[in-house]
Amino acid sequence: MSDVKTIAEPVQEKLVFDRPKSLTKRGFTYCPGCGHGVIHRLVAELIDEFGVQDRAIGMASVGCSVFSYWFFDCDFISCAHGRAPATATGVKRAHPDAFVFSYQGDGDLASIGMAEIMHAANRGEQITVIFVNNAIYGMTGGQMAPTTLENMVTTTSPLGRDPILAGGPIRMVEILANLDGVAFAARGSSSSPRNILKAKAYMKKAFRSQIEKKGFGIVEILSNCNTNWRKTPQEANKFIDEEMVKAFPLGVYKDVFADKSKK
């Protein structure tokens, strides 16, 4: 396609900050201010840091990140809606030494793909799941998601999500942490540099879970959809910090690497 934007080669004499090797040169197509760009970068940085680019296989889901294979420079499968953990299972069983990850949104993972995520986790599949929760169906134009907050207005909850009729926001990492197959489950946020660094530390453990064959690893990252939330990026990140975290408390819910003697 002619309108593909690529990233220019850096011209600084002394390079202090560069694009991770595991990202292609293609410019992101996400909305300005959206968290996907930052989260993509974190994943790519970790692929580089663990040195697994030559054996990384990604599963793209259905939603805004459907084209994530444009941006990650490794083998990829664009999966059916919600089915990425099942497809990842087929890949990982075929190539146990590959680094297999899925990158899924909240509609994909917590609604239509609920069965696939629960059972992949329960089997302890050696895969890493990056779960981006922005409390809305972004790509289809802002419909209610399973993670939409109570009273939050969306195009299919125009009067606000009514918990009596539509239930409340579903907390996936808390649920998944209860399963024996899960080695690491945590929730971070992309709302500030401090939170982003913390999210990366969580993701690092979810990577290790797979690489050290400890089991299934998942990191949920609260992210903004400023476009469909009808907010500026700044307002949207503030909304994560002030409202979203009340329904979705940040932190580690399961950690096989934790030093149990400290408890």
Partner 1 sequence: MSESQRELMKGNHAMCLGAIRSGARAYYGYPITPQNEATEYMSFHMPKAGGSFIQAESEIAAINMVFGAAAAGVRAMTSSSSPGISLKQEGISYIAMAELPCVIANVVRCGPGLGNIAPHQGDYFQATRGGGHGDYRTITLAPASVQEMAQLTYKAFDLADEYRNPSLILSDGVIGQMMEPVDLATIPAKDAPKKDWAVGLGQDKRERNVHTTIYLEPEDMAQMHLKLIDKYDRIRREVQYYEEFRTEDADILIVSYGNSSRVARTAIRHLREEGKVKAGMLRTISLWPYPYRILNEIASNYKAILVLEMNWGQMVEDVRLAIGDKTPIHFAGKHGGLLFTPAEIEEFVCAIDKDPNNPKTAWTPIR
Q: Could you list the residues that contact partner 1 (CB under 8 A)?
A: 1, 53-57, 59-60, 66-67, 69, 73-80, 83, 86-95, 97-98, 115-116, 118-119, 123
**Residue 138 vs 169, nearer CB to partner 1:** 138
Q: How far apart are CA 176 and CA 180, in angstroms?
A: 9
User: DSSP secondary-structure letter at 65?
Assistant: G
Structure token digits, residue 193: 């540099």
**Least spacing, CB of residue 79 vs partner 1, in Å:** 7
Nearest alpha carbon to residue 126 among 240, 61, 215: 215
**Residue 66 vs 166, nearer CB to partner 1:** 66
At 134, is the secondary structure helix, strand, or coil? coil
Q: How far apart are CA 173 and CA 225, in angstroms?
A: 20
Q: How far apart are CA 103 and CA 69, in angstroms?
A: 10
**Residue 2 vs 261, nearer CB to partner 1:** 2
**Least spacing, CB of residue 210 vs partner 1, in Å:** 15
**Residue 100 vs 221, nearer CB to partner 1:** 100
**Least spacing, CB of residue 198 vs partner 1, in Å:** 30
Name the phi and psi angles at 169, rounded to 5: -65, 130
Q: How far apart are CA 221 and CA 129, in angstroms?
A: 11
DSSP letters along 8-54, please? PPP--SS--S---TTB-SBPP-SPTT-THHHHHHHHHHHHHHHT-GG
**Least spacing, CB of residue 111 vs partner 1, in Å:** 14
**Residue 118 vs 153, nearer CB to partner 1:** 118
DSSP E strands, 126-240: 128-133, 136-137, 143-144, 182-189, 216-222
The per-type count for the chain, helices as H runs and strands as E runs, is: 10, 9
**Residue 96 vs 158, nearer CB to partner 1:** 96
**Least spacing, CB of residue 110 vs partner 1, in Å:** 16
Judge residue 36's burial from the number of C-beta atoms within 10 Å of its C-beta, 0-12 exposed, 13-18 middle, 19 or more buried: buried
**DSSP bridge partners of 189:** 222
**Least spacing, CB of residue 214 vs partner 1, in Å:** 20
**Residue 118 vs 245, nearer CB to partner 1:** 118
**Least spacing, CB of residue 108 vs partner 1, in Å:** 13
